[in-house]
């Protein structure tokens, strides 16, 4: 449905409402590239935050479509990648990723800038796929570039085409101004999970909403 409005010779406006179907065939679902970025700093040990985050990531990896490509970036004092580049979800990479997630432990500081740069570098230049980054952190930048404005600027400088950056802030110590900017400036959304809330359920529910891009 659409509603158009224009007064005189001035430019007008249009409201377009699109209601998607409930089910789509495999041929209608776009293959996507997605990078999961997880904070494994020492503070993630509290309240089972890292354990819940690991369980949520395992759910997301298992739910990938065979034609998808993905990677994992984990960060504390420095960022570490699961693989050098995007891996196809239709082979052994999913099993290897689950093993990689299972071995993660909380230690070190919070190098947000390093982690986001690593994730943004993974988009192939020739790709026309949707490129999604799911970023989960419980703190503020303490290592490397710590100025929030500089981190936002670095993301803008290195932002690839078709980027959508989704942010989860966990706990009461997150820099909400930084996370709001990261999501708002890069086509994504941000969500905050309070201490005691079920992080695994929140991330899993969110992923189901973005897992099958069509338009």
Taking only the tens place, the pLDDT of each residue in 32-47 is 999 999 999 999 998 8
Using the predicted structure, report yes or no on whether residue 184 has a pLDDT greater than 60: yes
Using the predicted structure, report yes or no on whether residue 126 has a pLDDT greater than 90: no
- The alpha-carbon radius of gyration of the chain (Å, integer) is 18
What is the predicted pLDDT for the residue at 99? 97
Which is it for strands 33-39 and 69-75: parallel, antiparallel or unpaired? parallel
Higher pLDDT among residues 127 and 211, named by residue: 127
According to DSSP H, which parts of 140-198 are helical?
Answer: 148-158, 176-184
Report in angstroms the alpha-carbon separations of 193 from 105, 135, 202, 207.
Answer: 20, 13, 8, 15
pTM for the structure as a whole? 0.86
What pairs with residue 170 in β-bridges? 193
pLDDT classification of 20: cutoffs 50, 70, 90:
low
pLDDT tens readout for residues 189-210: 999 998 888 888 888 888 888 8
Nearest to 212 by CA among 27, 19, 31: 31
- CA dihedral in degrees (174, 176, 182, 183; nearest 10)? 110
Using the predicted structure, report yes or no on whether residue 100 has a pLDDT greater than 60: yes
pLDDT tens readout for residues 128-182: 889 999 999 998 999 999 999 999 999 999 999 889 999 999 988 889 999 999 9
Q: Which two tokens stand for residue 188?
A: 């994504």
Using the predicted structure, report yes or no on whether residue 21 has a pLDDT greater than 70: no
What SS3 state is found at 73? strand
Q: What is the DSSP letter of 31?
A: P
Using the predicted structure, report yes or no on whether residue 82 has a pLDDT greater than 90: yes
């Amino acid at each position: 449905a659409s509603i158009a409005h224009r007064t005189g010779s001035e430019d007008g406006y249009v409201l377009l409402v699109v209601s998607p179907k409930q089910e789509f065939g495999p041929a209608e679902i776009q293959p996507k590239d997605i990078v999961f970025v997880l904070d494994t700093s020492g503070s993630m040990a509290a309240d089972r935050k890292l354990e819940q985050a690991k369980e949520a990531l395992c759910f997301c990896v298992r739910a990938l479509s065979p034609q998808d490509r993905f990677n994992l970036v984990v960060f504390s004092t420095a960022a570490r990648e699961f693989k050098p580049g995007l891996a196809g979800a239709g082979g052994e990479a999913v099993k290897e990723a689950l093993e990689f997630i299972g071995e993660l432990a909380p230690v070190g500081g919070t190098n947000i800038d390093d982690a986001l740069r690593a994730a943004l570098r993974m988009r192939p230049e020739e790709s026309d796929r949707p490129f999604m980054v799911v970023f989960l952190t419980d703190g503020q930048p303490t290592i490397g570039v710590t100025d929030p404005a500089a981190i936002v600027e670095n993301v803008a400088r290195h932002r690839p085409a078709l980027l959508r950056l989704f942010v989860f802030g966990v706990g009461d110590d997150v820099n909400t101004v930084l996370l709001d900017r990261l999501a708002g400036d890069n086509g994504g959304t941000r969500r905050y999970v309070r201490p005691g809330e079920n992080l695994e359920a929140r991330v899993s529910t969110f992923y189901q909403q973005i897992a099958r891009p069509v338009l």
